[in-house]
């Protein structure tokens, strides 16, 4: 299964023209004008069962981040979070236990090498890449560079705010994780799988932007664990 080239405008997630919400959810302006093969629509939308433990234990790690990763359990409820305003655009979840433990300007990074660390990384890294224009939040690939350049050349749209509403961890391993985020746009719900890769050199998670999947509208939060700045 392949996607069409990223040859058209790629705008920021976290702002949205209300006129775009007309039967089909398009959140954050993401993938505006982008073409995708119809095969991407064929996958069954029903949520996958969530495992109760990680597939492999992890050491606390070393390197640049050195965030402890003692807790390898899959989160079964919303993790305790401190929601902080990012770039005056959206609120992001932070945790002294799971990350981000370092904030270098718009690049919020250093997350635990664990399922919950991947959860915090998913929303923080994608936001840093798209809204904060921080390329280092993603895996360095030709596709990620093209997406980044497209996004950087397009002015952010003004519109309805996008807010995280829940999560579902689809898979987790020592080297990669897939976190499906539930997003609320003025009462309209959408979900998007977020692929993460563990970077040994950075001792941290990175977003696999090249292998992003287009968002899909959902009718309710079935299968998702509620998680939002509203509590």
Per-residue pLDDT tens digits for 166-221: 999 999 999 999 999 998 877 889 998 999 999 999 999 999 999 888 778 999 99
Number of domains in the chain: 1
pLDDT category, 231, cuts 50, 70, 90? confident
- Per-residue pLDDT, 187: 81
- Per-residue pLDDT, 161: 59
Whole-prediction pTM: 0.74
- Per-residue pLDDT, 154: 56
For 36-58, what is the mean pLDDT? 40
**Parent domain of 221:** 58-154+162-226
Task: Look up residue 114 and give its two tokens.
Answer: 């664990």
- Per-residue pLDDT, 156: 53
Residue 150 to residue 157: CA distance in whole angstroms: 14
Q: Where is pLDDT greater, at 218 or 32? A: 218
The answer as to whether 132 is a domain residue is: yes
| Token pair 């497209």: residue | 150
The answer as to whether 175 is a domain residue is: yes
- Per-residue pLDDT, 147: 86
124-158 tens-digit pLDDT = 999 999 889 999 999 999 989 988 887 766 555 44
Q: Where is pLDDT greater, at 70 or 47? A: 70
17 pLDDT more than 50: no
68-104 tens-digit pLDDT = 998 999 999 999 999 999 988 889 999 999 999 999 9
The answer as to whether 50 is a domain residue is: no
Q: Could you tell me which of 1, 16, 7, 79 has the C-alpha nearest to residue 215?
A: 16
- Per-residue pLDDT, 227: 96
Q: Where is pLDDT greater, at 80 or 21? A: 80
The answer as to whether 3 is a domain residue is: no
- Per-residue pLDDT, 33: 38
The answer as to whether 189 is a domain residue is: yes
3 state DSSP class of 167: strand
The answer as to whether 206 is a domain residue is: yes
The answer as to whether 20 is a domain residue is: no
The answer as to whether 52 is a domain residue is: no
- Per-residue pLDDT, 214: 78
């Amino acid at each position: 299964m392949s996607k069409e080239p990223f040859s058209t405008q790629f705008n920021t997630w976290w702002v949205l023209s209300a006129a775009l919400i007309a039967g089909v959810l398009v959140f954050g302006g993401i993938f505006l004008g982008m073409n995708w093969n119809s095969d991407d629509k064929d996958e069954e939308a029903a949520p996958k069962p969530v495992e109760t433990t990680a597939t492999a234990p992890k050491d606390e790690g070393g390197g640049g981040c050195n965030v402890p990763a003692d807790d390898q359990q899959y989160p079964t409820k919303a993790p305790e979070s401190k929601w902080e305003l990012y770039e005056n655009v959206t609120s992001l979840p932070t945790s002294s236990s799971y990350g981000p433990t370092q904030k270098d300007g718009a690049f919020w990074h250093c997350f635990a090498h664990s399922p919950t660390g991947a959860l915090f990384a998913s929303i923080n890294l994608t936001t840093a890449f798209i809204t904060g224009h921080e390329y280092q939040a993603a895996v360095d690939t030709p596709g990620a560079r093209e997406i980044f350049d497209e996004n950087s050349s397009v002015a952010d749209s003004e519109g309805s705010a996008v807010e995280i509403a829940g999560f579902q961890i689809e898979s987790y391993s020592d080297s990669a994780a897939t976190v499906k985020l539930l997003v609320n746009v003025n009462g309209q719900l959408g979900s998007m799988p977020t692929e993460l890769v563990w970077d040994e050199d950075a001792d941290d998670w990175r977003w696999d932007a090249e292998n992003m999947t287009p968002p899909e509208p959902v009718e309710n939060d079935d299968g998702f664990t509620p998680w939002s700045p509203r509590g």
